[in-house]
Amino acid sequence: MPEPHGPVEPSEPGTPAADADPARGRLWRALVRPARRQLIVAALLAVVGFAGVTQVRTNTVDDTYDGLRQQDLIDILNDLAGTTQRAQAEIQRLETTRDDLLSETSSREAALEAARNEVDTLSIIAGTVAVTGPGVRITIKEVAGQVRVEPFIDMVQALRSAGAEAIQINGSVRVVASTSFQDAAGGILAGGQVLKAPFVVDVIGDPEALGAALRFPDGPEDQFAEDDVAELTYDELTSLDIESVHEPTPPEVAEPGGDE
């Protein structure tokens, strides 16, 4: 007599019975509810497949030289090598030209700077430009008589020997190499102008050196003080303005038709 069976559990709606075909049932459940391991395997297979397709496409893209003979390929490589060498030679030529231009520009700028400095120095010596710098301000006051021109000239020479760059008297006369000094009624004739005491002499240069040039024994300070004629004092200044300029005398032009 057959043994009685218990109640049969119904299959899930829309799926084949589990006991109808066990293998098919497992496959169906794997497709409907895949496990995590199965998802990872599927993703790896997709990546491998994509890489294979990409490799095939890459291998089939550049087939330009497939039909060329070996000698043709050698000629192409030689041409490429020659082009590379010519390009490198051109780069070197351009770099050399650039360096030469930079060197010439630097030399030109250095020469221009030196020329400008030389012009500035000559202009200061000629007294044609205003000057600002450290120096001394000398004041000469008459005490018991009129200041004579000899100690004045000695003072100017002593200041020049001490490195005076610019000299101005009473704010109006710029002393240069061609400036003349003479005794005049009531004062001194300097640069075509009559100057009267008290004399104020502005000098640009090293203040210490200029001060030493004024007070050395039998120097300008002692000469002006001789016989109590005048008193010389000075102040060392960190900044001094000399604004008067020397107007050069234009050269004489011979009249046409004159004596030869």
pLDDT band at 17 (very low <50, low <70, confident <90, very high): very low
Query: What integer pLDDT is reported at residue 177 of this predicted model?
Result: 87
Query: What integer pLDDT is reported at residue 238 of this predicted model?
Result: 94
101/76: higher pLDDT: 101
User: What are the pLDDT digits (tens) for 187-205?
Assistant: 899 988 999 999 999 999 9
**Which pTM does this prediction carry?**
0.57
Indicate the fold that domain 130-242 takes in CATH.
Alpha-Beta Plaits (3.30.70)
Query: What integer pLDDT is reported at residue 35 of this predicted model?
Result: 58
> With 80 as the cut, is the pLDDT of residue 249 above it?
no
pLDDT band at 158 (very low <50, low <70, confident <90, very high): very high
From CA 217, how far away is CA 212, in angstroms rounded? 10
Query: What integer pLDDT is reported at residue 123 of this predicted model?
Result: 83
Mean pLDDT, to the nearest integer, of 29-41? 57
From CA 34, how far away is CA 229, in angstroms rounded? 126
From CA 99, how far away is CA 112, in angstroms rounded? 20
Structure token pair of residue 127: 């007294």
Structure token pair of residue 21: 């075909």
> With 90 as the cut, is the pLDDT of residue 133 above it?
yes
User: What are the pLDDT digits (tens) for 46-56?
Assistant: 655 655 555 55
Answer for the pair 178, 234: CB distance below 8 angstroms, yes or no.
no
167/117: higher pLDDT: 167
Name every residue whose Cβ is closer than 8 Å to that of residue 25 and which is 6 or more positions away in sequence.
15, 16, 17, 18
In the chain, where the domains are located: 18-57, 74-126, 130-242
Give alpha helix (H) positions in 33-148: 36-59, 70-126
Mean pLDDT, to the nearest integer, of 237-246? 92
> With 70 as the cut, is the pLDDT of residue 19 above it?
no
